[in-house]
Amino acid sequence: MNILDKITLDKRKEVALRKQLIPVSQLEQSVLFNRPTVSLANNLKNSTSGIIAEHKRRSPSKAVINNNLNVQDVASGYESAGVCGMSVLTDGKYFGGALDDLLTARASCNLPLLRKEFIIDEYQILEAKAYGADVILLIAGILSRNEIKQFSQFAKSLNLDVLLEVHDEQELHKALMPSLDMLGVNNRNLKTFNVSLETSKQLSQLIPNDFVKVSESGISSTSAIKELQPYGYKGFLIGENFMKTDNPGASATAFINTLNA
């Protein structure tokens, strides 16, 4: 059983419990539920940097990255840096995140927020909307084609952008459909944790231009972005690189300044 299978198994139990605790009607009554969303896809299309900066305390591959920062400072720092959007990890067991992190980030900035989560149920999409997200992540590796279709269409009905993450050609072919806004290529092999930008390069030509292309994982230098831009990538998800510093906002500012110099 690889780490993705393990996380998914735990997630099914967790979501079943959450559904018992908080009914759908309560999520729909949230003060943020009818908030107009901001499109990350549009931001990326019109950006020179394309940075999606992440709030991430730890990960299965790296253990603790940074437990000392508060979400408010990170979110406002990223906004000042001029990033296109912010990714907020809400998985508790493996990444040390929480839905409350999303709420805090929403109160602290006007950036499009991506709920970074292992979505296996429509209920989590309602949660994302109720807690102030603008974008959801769907992971092709843990979903069937029908689930991807069902979840992405449901997200669109709530005016949420959809970023679909793939790891290989097989997942990409399974997943292409009009209800997606962005296609993310994860350069990290979740079975081995090896990272290679070649994954993004190889898959780029198979992604139709109707989708905004996003490269994820292993992007720690401006040169990596310059290497990927000719392949049509408009978005670059950066997590650990900023989070492992004492001031992710300042780190993102310096990074973007270097990139645009």
Cα R_g (the chain), whole angstroms = 17
Catalytic residue selected from 127, 171, 216, 240: 216
Catalytic residue selected from 79, 117, 127, 165: 165
- Give per-residue pLDDT as tens, 155-164: 999 999 999 9
- 181 burial (CB, 10 Å; 0-12 / 13-18 / 19+) is buried
Please report the pLDDT score of residue 66 as a whole number. 87
Residue in the structure block whose two tokens are 């408010």: 72
Sign of CA dihedral 228, 233, 237, 242: positive
Nearest CA to 191 out of 215, 163, 167 is that of 167
pTM score, whole prediction: 0.96
% of the chain exceeding 70 in pLDDT: 100
Is residue 56 flagged as an active site residue? yes
Is residue 54 flagged as an active site residue? yes
Please report the pLDDT score of residue 106 as a whole number. 98
Catalytic residue selected from 54, 117, 171, 240: 54
Is residue 186 flagged as an active site residue? yes
Please report the pLDDT score of residue 190 as a whole number. 72
Query: Any idea what the CATH number is for the domain that residue 69 is in?
Result: 3.20.20.70
Q: Is the pLDDT of residue 105 over 90?
A: yes
- Give per-residue pLDDT as tens, 47-63: 989 999 999 999 887 78
Is residue 116 flagged as an active site residue? yes
At 216, is the secondary structure helix, strand, or coil? strand
For the residues 182-198, what does the mean pLDDT come to? Answer: 89
CB atoms within 10 A of CB 144: 10
- Give per-residue pLDDT as tens, 193-245: 789 999 999 999 999 999 999 999 989 999 999 999 999 999 999 988 999 99
Instruction: Tell me the residue range of the domain where 224 lies.
Output: 3-260
Tally of structural domains, the chain: 1
Nearest CA to 97 out of 143, 65, 122, 120 is that of 65
Catalytic residue selected from 217, 234, 240, 251: 217
Is residue 216 flagged as an active site residue? yes
